[in-house]
Amino acid sequence: MHVSMSVNGREVSGDVEPRTLLVHYLRENLGLTGTHVGCDTGYCGACTVHVDGISTKSCTMLAVQAEGAEITTIEGLASNGELHPVQEGFWERHGLQCGFCTPGMIMQSAYLLAEDNNPDEDTIRHGLDGNLCRCTGYHNIVKAVQYAGARMRSEEPDAPDWEEEGT
């Protein structure tokens, strides 16, 4: 089947098997490998992208269902060489280790903060509970989102919670 959509501001189109998942179309047809596949059941959230501005697990959607949609992936989040505040927050607050869940986690966090840029910790934690991370225990992910929220409100982020040590 023929499919066309806008991905990261670029018009793309091509022929796919009807059963092709959106995530496979992004990764294998468009080469956008920043969006990851971590499970078979729509549970881990590593494949999270924005479809018409809505945070969406791209393994739960067929490519043909995205006909005409505007897709943003992790590769399209930074603009004009500037990181999105959530990307900056993940770097500043050590919100990632292996980095595999990170694109989905960042896309979901950006969506949460677009809805409400001043969420409390509980809201952040429940807002991210569809995205699994096995490395960080979420501690620094929450800090990263709080950092990004502060930046989006043009406030000074809280200080990091680590201390310098000498050896």
Partner 1 sequence: MTSTISPTTTTSALGGVVHRKEDPALIQGHGKYTDDIKFTGEVAAAFTRSPFAHATINSIDTDAARAMPGVHAVYTIEDVRHLGTLLAQVPVGALRPLLADGVVKHVGEAVAMVVADNRYLAQDAADAVSVDYDPLEAVIDLKDALSDRVKVHDSLDSNLLISWVGPFGAEPEDQQKVKADIDAAKEGDDVVTVSQEMLNQRLIPVAIEPRAVVADYNPGYGSMTVFSSSQIPHALAGAIGKTLGLLSNQVRVVAPEVGGGFGAKLNVYSDEILVSWASMQLGHPVRWTETRREAAHSTVQGRGWVATATIVGTKDGEILGYQLEGIADMGAYTQNFTVAIPFLGLFVGSGQYKMPTWWKIDCVTTHTNTTDAYRGAGRPEAAYYLERIIDMYAREIGMDPAEVRKKNYIPNDQFPGAVSPVGFAMDTGDYGTNLDALIATSDYAGLRAEQKKAREEGRYLGIGLSSYVEVCGFAPAGLAELGFSWSTYGLPAAFSGSGLVRVNPDGTATVQIGTGPSGQGHETTWAQIVSDRLAIPVEHVKVRHGDTGDSPMGIGTFGSRSAAVDGSATYEASQRVRAKAAKMAAHLLEASEEDVVFANGGAHVAGSPDSSVTWAQIAEIAYMPHKLPEGMEGGLEASVVFNPSNATWPFGAHLAVVEVDAETGNVDLLRYITVDDCGNVINPMIVDGQVHGGIAQGVGQALFEEALYDETGNLLTGTLIDYPLPTAADLPTFELSRTVTPTDINPMGVKGIGEAGTIGSAQTVVNAVVDALAPLGVKHVDMPLRPRRVWQAIQEAKG
Regarding 90 and contact with partner 1 (CB under 8 A), the answer is yes
Strand spans (E) along the chain: 2-7, 10-15, 48-51, 54-57, 70-72
Minimum distance of partner 1 from residue 41's CB (angstroms) = 5
Q: Which of residues 50-69 bind partner 1 (CB under 8 A)?
A: none
Alpha-helical regions (H) of the chain: 22-24, 85-92, 102-115, 121-127, 139-152
Stretch that binds partner 1, among 41-49, 50-58, 63-71 (CB under 8 A): 41-49
| Window 103-142: contact mask with partner 1 (x via CB under 8 A) | x--x--------------x--xxx-xxxxxxxxxxxxxxx
Regarding 71 and contact with partner 1 (CB under 8 A), the answer is no
- C-alpha 111/C-alpha 119 separation (Å) is 12
Regarding 10 and contact with partner 1 (CB under 8 A), the answer is no
Of 68 and 115, nearer to partner 1 (C-beta) is 115
